Amino acid sequence: MHLLERKISQNIQQHQLLDIEKPVIVALSGGADSVALLYILNLLGYNCIAAHCNFHLRGEESNRDEKYVNNIINQLGIEGEFTHFNVDEYAQEYHISTEMACRELRYEWFEKIRQKHNAQAIAVAHHRDDDIETMFLNLMRGSGIMGTAAMKWKNGNIVRPMLDISRNDIETYLSAQEIEYVVDSTNLENDFKRNKLRNKVIPAILQAFPDADSMLAKSLGYLKENREIYQYAIAQAQKQYQIGNTILLSKLITEYPAPKTLLHEILAPYGFNTHQVEDIINCAGGSGHIFYSSKFVIAINRETIELSEIKSFNRSNNEYEIDLSQSVVNPINLDVSFINPNEFAPTKSTNIAYFDAKILEGNPRFILRHWREGDHMAPFGLNGSKKLSDIFSNAKLSLIEKNNIWILEKDGVIIWIIGLRASRHFAVTQSTKKILVIKTI
């Protein structure tokens, strides 16, 4: 067995990256690193499925890479998965850079392919030089220990079996084995920060300090161990200040010795950056402040902040006409039943509403929808009407809770803020002969 093959096998065992009995997705660009990883994993006996993304960012060169990858998998007799992306469209939609768009697109797709094949992991070909470059990039961005320690051997379903192997060792191996690969021409350009590091800065450092690469790799090893301790401490603290999607902001700021650091570590996985974290802390105690990442939103609600996906945060203007003579399953589940007045024993639950069954007479139109600015209702037990916004405020609902609440209306009149309050229209009285009971499920 070649030294490089043995090293990758040892890395897999030492860091518990892969199980030989289960399939693995291998991210295959066609470049030296990914080609070497695929060849060696296949040689070691792993059931590999190659996954290739064509981003169409380099014209014919992108198509060349795809053809080459297809040749590789045919040569090895393994299965391949291919996809094409419109990167510019995605980047514009989520207001992110081209580089970030490529990253999000490929990893989301890799995960779908992993699930499709019931694979154990996605193996990527990041190596020692990538790790060192990432450390420098994160240092220059003002990163803490999480970024400075750079890449992980295993991060969720992503594994990196070559993380301590140099690019030079990889290319030497491919040359000795007479294995071809493609070269991304943009890697030779210095327009990108990583390429400037790779092609100019790090070579200059190595010229001045010939053993710098091995020493930097050694330091990275120590930092990765430090990060494990740091992450454990963060996880313990997070349990005290996060309950589901609610973060106890005021409590965190008051009690924790490094609130900005803790809050950043909690929110970073959702795409929020350091500047946003600082602004969130400065807005503590207020209400109505909204912060967006590419896919998530945070709403400050006095002493807490609520975290939600953007798609569930934004209120839909859709209306759903329903038949209240029977139970409802779309867009929400409502159990509908009828009882006689002598069976009436009302509960105080806000998830149940009682109406005189006369509400169904005359072919009425019942609608389920989300609330709108200016909505009013006539609450049961009160005279006159109130704005829904005032009812929400009195109930101390967060903006996310308000946006997720459902409204039931009859012929344009709101009769129930579901899960909160019913109106006095068609209330049960002594003359009621049949009672309509609606319960959320």
Least confident of 24-38, 124-138, 179-193: 179-193
DSSP string computed for 357-416: GGGGTT---EEEEE--TT-EE-BTTSSS-EEHHHHHHHTT--HHHHHH-EEEEETTEEEE
pLDDT higher than threshold 90 for residue 230: yes
- Stretch among 21-30, 59-68, 231-240, 342-351 having the lowest mean pLDDT: 342-351
- Model confidence at 396, pLDDT cuts 50, 70, 90, reads confident
Query: What is the residue extent of each domain of the chain?
Result: 3-209, 244-308, 320-440
Residue 292 has what pLDDT? 86
Report, at the CATH architecture level, how domain 3-209 is classified: 3-Layer(aba) Sandwich (3.40)
Output 178 or 312, whichever has higher pLDDT: 178
Q: What is the pTM of this model?
A: 0.67
Rg (CA), the chain: 29
Q: Do the Cβ atoms of 108 and 25 come closer than 8 Å?
A: no
Q: Which neighbouring-strand residues pair with 434?
A: none
What is the predicted pLDDT for the residue at 212? Answer: 93
Q: Give the distance from CA 84 to its chain's centroid.
A: 21
